[in-house]
Amino acid sequence: MKQEGFWYSVGDFFYTCFEGLEWVNETLSPQWILILVGTGFFSYWIYLQGKYNKEAAKNGTLK
C-alpha cells in the first residue's frame, strides 16, 4: 500500500465522521443538544438524591 493511499483513507474516515457532525449541526442546533443532555443529567441526579434521601430517612440519619 502506498503512503498516499493510507493518508487518503485516514482523511476519508475523518471526513465521514465529521460529516455526521455536520448533519447534527444542521438538524439540531448545539443549544438543543446541550439542553437535552443537561436535562438528562439533572433528572438522573434528582433520582439519585431521592434514593439517598429515602435510605437516610429509613435509617434515621436524615438531617
**Can you give the pLDDT at residue 48?**
96
Q: Is the pLDDT of residue 13 over 60?
A: yes
Average pLDDT over residues 11-17: 88
DSSP per-residue string spanning 9-47: HHHHHHHHHHHHHHHHHHHS-HHHHHHHHHHHHHHHHHH
Q: Shortest CA distance to 41 belongs to which of 33, 20, 24?
A: 33
Confidence of residue 3 (pLDDT cuts 50, 70, 90): low
For 17-47, the pLDDT digits (tens) are 888 888 877 887 778 888 999 999 999 999 9
**Can you give the pLDDT at residue 7?**
82
Query: Which three cell numbers, joined as nine digits, stand for 34?
Result: 446541550
* Mean pLDDT of the chain, nearest integer: 86
Calculate the CA dihedral of residues 8, 13, 17, 18 and round it to 10 degrees. Answer: -10
